[in-house]
Structures are given as structure tokens and as C-alpha cells.
Amino acid sequence: MSAQTTAKGYGIADTKKYTEFSVKDFPLKTAHADDVTLDISHCGVCGSDVHTVTGGWGGLNVPWCVPGHEIIGTVTHVGDNVKEFKVGQRVGVGAQVLSCMKCERCKGDNENYCAQSVDTYNAKFPDEVEAQGGYSTAIRTHQQFVFAIPDALESEAAAPLLCAGLTVYSPLVRNGTGPGKTVGIVGIGGLGHLAIQFAHHLGAKVIVFSHSPNKKDDALSLGADEFVSTSEDGFADKYADKLDYILSAADAKSIPLADLLSTLKVDGKLTSVGLPDEPWEGLQPQAMASNASCIGGSHIGSKKEANAMLKLCAEKNIKPIIDQVLPMSEAGKAIEAVKNNNVRYRFVLKQDLA
């Protein structure tokens, strides 16, 4: 049976009208022997979706953009080279759908840093077919970017793991989060509330920094050992030289970077997975001179890490807190809520076109 050639989805054509989704058919990428095609059942609503459809990260790269890269679905077709997946299997797709497979990065479990990487949406495949995301009926992608979903994870809980989860899991493990380490998590939203759980279950002592004191109970119940309100003057003083690593999911240009950096041990690192629309304000290297600390970036994670994360989630019962599951037709409502920071902690869309 040949694979379907089109799908239907909810897309945005104008970043000024970022809640006005229209429904259209669109072509799927040309089917290759390494491709897996799936019917989508659920898709999480990620901060990236908001930055993209509002134009915060720049204009659209395609005339009409279907967002969504926290995708769960059922395999409907596999190419001849695909051995890992079979028709009928429940799988997931995250924020990346292609890489070159040939470079050192691809060959070294760093395919998420391949220079030829293709994003799941608002991007184009090498053959110029537009890549469209998961607010839709189906997606086709290379098997490297398809993940088996453990039976223990419900679909609506698994969806947000594929971007929000992987985006925080990868830097946590790459930076040594584990027993004997003290790790700070900054910003308790869709990403941060998963990061707390990962850091805790990986064995680290977890210090949560948040400017929202009313998230204290959530943070502690998710596994934080301590909660620090960054709105209090001198909040960082008692943590000076205490932290091995900080992961910031704060999506803001004016987080108290210098204070946070001061809590790091010598050679400690802060990774920001929050990607604000505007540059950081006032950062000077002086803020990192007193402890040889550094501040860095990260980009989702590798398939190896995705599989390890999903296994950990299944074993330790780690899951996102789902605020609402909405039909995909309410994508605009979900986008607005994420933009206004009115989500605790994730919205998931459910298929209503097929």
C-alpha cells in the first residue's frame, strides 16, 4: 500500500492574526524508504508555537504554517528501511524531522545539532516541500525522529514530553545531573515543571527559583527540595557557591542572571532553554568572573536521549500536569492562553479533523 500524500491541518497565514487558524489540505513530504507516516491523535501546545505564530522569533518561513511539535499518533505506513516501527504502533514526533545523517554530529548522537536539521514546522525539506506540524491529521518523517511510546504513558501525557520534556532532559543529563549534585531550575512552566521531576528522579538535590511564590506548592510536590522566590531582595545570597548546575526555562529577557550565576560553584554552568524574543539585558562577563561560570544554550535532544527520557518517565511515573485537553479546533484559545502565561502547565490538543 502506498503512503498517503496529503494531510489536513490548522494553520496560520498572518502573524498579526495568530489565533485565527484556517483548515486546509497540505502535501506531506515525498515518502522515502526511511520514512514513517502516522495519523496524529494528540499534539501539545508549546511556547515555540506561540513564538512562531506571533512572529516573535521572526516572520513565517512558509505562507501558511501548521504549528505543533509534541505529536502522538499511530503508524499508518513505513518505508522499506524501517525496522523499528510497524503499522498500528503508537509513536511520537518532536521538534525535529530531518538531519543529514552523515556529519560528525549526526554520527555522534548529536543529530539535534546537525547544521542541516529541519524543524518540524515553519521549515522546508531539502526538496522544498513545506514541513507542517502536528495541529493536523498526519505527519511523515524519517524514522530517526520517531520515538516509540512506552505503554505506561498515556498519549496526552506523552505528547508534551517530546519537546518540553526532551528540551530539559537533554541539558540536565549532559551537564551531570545526578546523585551528589545540586541543580537549580528557573522558571516553572511547561518546561520547568518537567525539569524539576527529571532532576529529582535523576537523583540531584533540586532548588527551584521562581518569581511566582504561588508556585511553591507545585514545585515541592513535583520534587523540589527547596523553593526560592526571586522577587525577594538578596534571594541568591544564601545559595552562593552551592549549585553545580542551573537550567533556566524562563522565557524572559530580564531574568536576574547575575544573581543566579552567583549561586554556582567554580566552573558551574547555567543553560537557558528559554529563548526570549529579545536579547538579555545588561549581561556582562563580569557576572561570570567571580566563579568562572558560564551561560549556554541547548537545542532539544538526541533520539538516544528521547528514548532514555521516555523510559525514565515510564519507570518513575513522570508526567506533565495537563491543564486542559482541547479539540484541535480550539488551537487559537490554547495559543492565547500560553502567550498570556495562563497555563498550568500544558495544553494538549486532541484530533478532531479525522
Which residues lie near a second copy (CB under 8 A)?
A: 57, 103-105, 108, 110, 113, 115, 171, 174, 240-241, 266-267, 269, 271-276, 278-299
Pairwise CA distance, residues 205 & 266, whole Å: 18
Q: Name the residue with cell 541547548.
A: 298
Amino acid at 181: K
Please, which residue, 281 or 352, has the CB nearer to a second copy? 281
Q: Quickly count: other Cβ atoms within 10 Å of residue 233's Cβ.
A: 7
Among 76, 63, 70, 71, smallest CA distance to 37 is for 76
Q: Least distance in Å: CB of 242 to a second copy?
A: 11
Residues 146, 301, 45, 280: what is their CA dihedral angle, to the nearest 10 degrees? -160
Q: How far is the CB of 25 from a second copy (least distance, A)?
A: 33
Minimum distance of a second copy from residue 274's CB (angstroms): 7
Based on CB atoms, which residue is closest to a second copy, 190 or 274? 274
- Min CB(93)–a second copy separation in Å: 20
| Residue 282 or 327 having the CB closest to a second copy | 282
For residue 286, the minimal CB distance to a second copy (Å) is 5
Looking at beta carbons only, is 255 or 334 nearer to a second copy? 255
Closer to a second copy by CB, 110 or 324: give it.
110
Nearer to a second copy, 87 or 292 (CB): 292
Could you give the CA distance from residue 272 to residue 249 in angstroms, rounded to a whole number? 6
Q: Which three cell numbers stand for residue 137?
A: 491529521
Strand partners, 347: 45, 324
d(CA 178, CA 162): 22
Q: Strand pairing of 205-210 and 182-186?
A: parallel
Cβ proximity to a second copy, 101 vs 289, nearer residue: 289
Q: How far is the CB of 87 from a second copy (least distance, A)?
A: 35
CA atoms of 155 and 160, how far apart (whole Å): 9
Rounded Cα gap, residues 173 and 134, in angstroms: 27
The CB-of-270 to a second copy minimum distance in angstroms stands at 8
For residue 231, give the amino acid letter: S
Q: Residue 174, SS3?
A: helix
